[in-house]
Chain A
Amino acid sequence: MELMEELVEEVLIRVPPDEPAYLVRAALVCKSWRRVLSDHGFLRRYRLFHRTPPLLGYLHNLYSRGPIPRFVPTTTTSPFAAAAPPPPLGGCERWRALDCRHGRVLARAFFDHDDDPLIVWDPTTGDQRRLAVPPPTTTDPRGAARRYTGAVLCAAADGCDHLGCHGGPFLVAYMVADEHHAVRVSVYSSETDAWGPPSAAVHVGRLFDARSSLLAGGALHFALYGGEGILRYDLRGHRLSVMETPGDFTGMVLVKADGGRLGFATTSSNGGFLYLWTQQQQAWAQHEAIDLKAVLPRGRGYRCHTRQVIGFAEASDTIFINRAAGVFALDLKSRRARMVGAVEAYDAIVPYVSFYTPGRS
């Protein structure tokens, strides 16, 4: 028997978002289903209904298998599988993924020039925006990757739920350290298509870690190399500051803890436990220890890599752990883990989390 039309919507809205192919196939069933699936109102309801955008894959900057950072799809059938390796960005085949947030990826092309451009890339539409970097504050050529970092975020007014804003206005924060380790940040606005003035400088002991940023409490946070400090950029005040961590936490990953507070995750030296630290009234406290043996599938090797915690997806509260058996995504809320990729010598990965629906535009 056929389903009443008003119920078709109720059924389609419940199709899980974690396999994007399901909705695309549904759109090919008949024209009226396709109309439903490409309706903006429906898609908005769909995103609100599921609330948490699914993990579609992750980017990394390993060059062992070729010069191009790869997009590793984490779904059975992926819109990005055909496009792997990802397209040249900014006309350059070599690039480094720096950050990903609100459906956009921030990368920097490698032409091996000081003024290598930044690229904001929307993997679902393929749109790219090439940004010239702000004028350098140093003439010291010994820059390399630890000298700069950046973040991308939605620039929509407060109250955006960031479930489908990837086509809207955005900001890019780009920070560079000079030869004295003085860091300044400049912010690009897609609305004005211009960089604002650089901030006042702060001094950091060590330079940037290869990890992407964490947005919490109106500020972007960047781990500094060695895990002894966190660079904080207050978005409203356009002000940088350095926060200390309570010790050497090499290999830590910044996370968003309960109530949107800043935290970080690190593993015990034998790799058996995941420790979550949170900031509580200006002081850091170890908030929780998660026994990884209890949450990760058993019976596999637990050979340690130098870096075990390799990423965090803000939108879905997921920590990525690199083990001998593979890359695991651990959902901090449900404490459920699943394997999402093969083990590699990852320093860091940049998770890509987004809704992917057939009627996007």
Chain B
Amino acid sequence: MEVDKGKGEAEETRKVAEADRDTVTLKSSDGKLFEVSKEAAARLSTVLAGMIAGGSIDDNGTDLKQIGSEALENVVDYCNKHANSIPSAALISSSISFNTAPFKEPEEWERKFVDRLSHDALFDLVEAANFLGMERLLDVTCHKISEMMKGKSPDQIREVFNIKNDYTKEELEEIRQELAWAFYDD
């Protein structure tokens, strides 16, 4: 946030003081506190950017009741890693128009970042990214999850996503016959 430092009024001084802090404190649903670079938070999350701009950041820890501590730790970790990596042209342009922009492959460090997550941690993180409006993190996590479907049968996909099959046997058989080519083993 650019703040006009030329005015001496009390309100402005308070804002300047706030703006001078270069981190924000976030509080998970289970009450844990995390510090994150204000610049990175504002750049990577539309929700945090809005809160910072709107002055609704709490110095004692901004409540994020929907996000557990493990997911929030990963969010903060991602923001810090992102701040430390050299932003590439590909990354910058990918965040302009989510979902209509052509797909950009995750960078090497992003791939490593999601690869080390457990199944549950990944699914928690994708929800946190969605809640915080973190387009690039959502992109990277969803990409990782979509990769988990590669070469899997419907049964195996259900297992990964913990989904109950709501087709009847007859319905499944009918579709299978219609699209038999898709079920040959690779």
Chain B 112-140 interface 0/1 with A at a Cβ cutoff of 8 Å (1 = within): 00000000100110110010000000100
Count contacts on B: residues with CB < 8 A to the other chain.
40
Any chain B CB within 8 A of the CB of A325? no
| Bound complex: CA A16 to CA B103 (Å) | 10
Q: Tell me if B82 is interfacial: C-beta within 8 Å of chain A.
A: no
B146 at the interface (CB under 8 A from A): yes
Pairwise interchain contact A7-B103, C-beta atoms closer than 8 A? no
A139→B143 CA distance, assembly (Å):
60
Residues of A within 8 A of B99 (CB): 10, 13, 45, 48-49
Counting CB contacts under 8 A, is A236 at the interface? no
Minimum CB–CB distance for A21 against chain B, Å: 4
B181→A77 contact, CB < 8 A: yes
B126 touches A7 (CB 8 A): yes
A2 located at the interface, meaning its Cβ lies under 8 Å from any Cβ of chain B in the complex: yes
B182 engages A24 (CB within 8 Å):
yes
Selected from A6, A31, A50, A80, the residue in CB contact (under 8 A) with B103 is A50
Q: Knowing A25-B153, A28-B175, A29-B163 are in contact, say whether A20-B182 is a contact too (CB < 8 A).
A: yes
Q: Are A2 and B162 in contact (CB under 8 A)?
A: yes
Find B172's partner among A6, A28, A51 (CB 8 Å cutoff). Answer: A28
A256-270 CB contact bits vs B (8 Å, 1 = yes)? 000000000000000
Q: How far does the alpha carbon of A78 sit from the alpha carbon of B162 in the complex, in Å?
A: 28
For B127, the chain A residues whose CB sits under 8 A away are: 4, 7
User: Which residues of A are found within 8 Å of B172, using beta-carbon distances?
Assistant: 28
Q: With A11-B142, A49-B102 known to touch, is A25 a contact of B183 (CB < 8 Å)?
A: yes
> Which residues of B pack against A, CB within 8 Å?
99-100, 102-103, 120, 123-124, 126-127, 130, 138, 142-143, 145-146, 149-154, 157-158, 161-167, 172, 175-176, 179-184, 186
B-side contacts of A15, CB under 8 Å? 146, 149
A12 near B100: Cβ-Cβ < 8 Å: no
> Considering only CB atoms, which chain A residue lies closest to B172 in the complex?
A28
Docked complex: A28-62 residues within 8 A CB-CB of B: 28-33, 45, 48-51
Residue pair A28, B154 in contact (C-beta under 8 Å): yes
A157 interface residue (CB < 8 Å to B) = no
The docked-state distance in angstroms from the alpha carbon of A49 to that of B179 is 25
A343 close to B (CB within 8 Å): no
A76 proximity list for chain B (CB < 8 A):
186
The number of chain A residues touching the other chain, given as a range, is: 35 or more
**Which residues on the B side are within 8 Å of A33 (C-beta)?**
163
Min CB distance B96 to A, Å, is 14
The residues of B that contact A21 with a CB separation of less than 8 Å are 181-183
Q: Which residue of A lies closest to B158 (CB)?
A: A29
Please, how many angstroms separate the alpha-carbon atoms of A170 and B145 in the complex? Answer: 39
Docked-complex contact A48 and B100, CB < 8 angstroms: yes
**Measured CA separation A76–B181 after assembly (Å):** 11
Smallest beta-carbon distance A172→chain B, Å:
29
Contact A6 B130 (CB under 8 A): yes
Interface residues of A in 291-336 (CB under 8 A from B): none
Q: Which residues of B contact A78 (CB under 8 A)?
A: 181
16 contacts across the A-B interface (CB closer than 8 A):
A2-B163, A3-B123, A3-B161, A10-B99, A10-B130, A10-B138, A12-B146, A13-B142, A14-B143, A24-B179, A25-B153, A28-B167, A29-B154, A79-B179, A82-B181, A358-B179
Contact (A29, B179) CB under 8 Å given A11-B142, A12-B146: no
- Cα(A48)–Cα(B166), bound, Å: 30
Determine if A195 is an interface residue (Cβ-Cβ < 8 Å): no
Known pairs A26-B154, A30-B164, A80-B181; list 12 more (Cβ under 8 Å).
A1-B123, A4-B130, A10-B138, A12-B146, A13-B142, A15-B149, A25-B149, A25-B157, A30-B167, A50-B102, A51-B103, A77-B184
- Give the nearest-CB partner of A19 in chain B: B150
Q: How far is the CB of B95 from chain A (nearest CB, A)?
A: 14
Interface string of A216-260 (1 = CB under 8 A from B): 000000000000000000000000000000000000000000000
Q: Kindly supply a per-residue 1/0 record for chain A positions 136-171, scoring 1 wherever the CB is within 8 Å of any chain B CB and 0 otherwise.
A: 000000000000000000000000000000000000
Residue of B120, B130, B161 touching A29 (CB-CB under 8 A): B161
Cβ of B142 to closest chain A Cβ, rounded Å = 4
